[in-house]
Amino acid sequence: MTSAASESACALCGGPATEAIDPPRRTLARGVDPGDPSYSVTVILPDIGLCAEHSRDVRGGERLVGWCDDQCCRTYGALGEPSACGLPYEKLGPTKRS
């Protein structure tokens, strides 16, 4: 392992990333202020590094990239797959709940 730059690794397979796609902005609810349960913040996530193959899959909608917002992780991975902290990667993008 000579490459230590994690941002240059494909989010899905860990291989060398050849492309970076813009992540969606995501509003995350954070219970920072206990007096305001609706407190939320829009975070801008780093670019998603992908290898050529997965970049094609993601753009084509065949694969979905998820995000783990756990403080220990804050990484991308395959949607629904468990991340390093044990929580599954969550869906990116605006979450509209009806």
Which residue, 86 or 94, has its beta carbon nearer to Zn ion? 86
> Do 67 and 76 meet the contact criterion of CB atoms below 8 Å apart?
yes
The CA distance from 52 to 25, in Å, is 23
Q: Does 26 bind Zn ion (CB under 5 A)?
A: no
73 is a contact residue toward Zn ion (CB under 5 A):
yes
Query: Helix or strand or coil: residue 54?
Result: helix
Helix (H, G, I), strand (E, B) or coil at 2: coil
Among 28, 41, 52, 85, binds Zn ion (CB under 5 A): 85
Task: Tell whether residue 7 is a contact of Zn ion (CB under 5 A).
Answer: no
**Which residues contribute to the site for Zn ion (CB under 5 A)?**
10, 12-13, 15, 51, 54, 68, 70, 73, 83, 85, 87
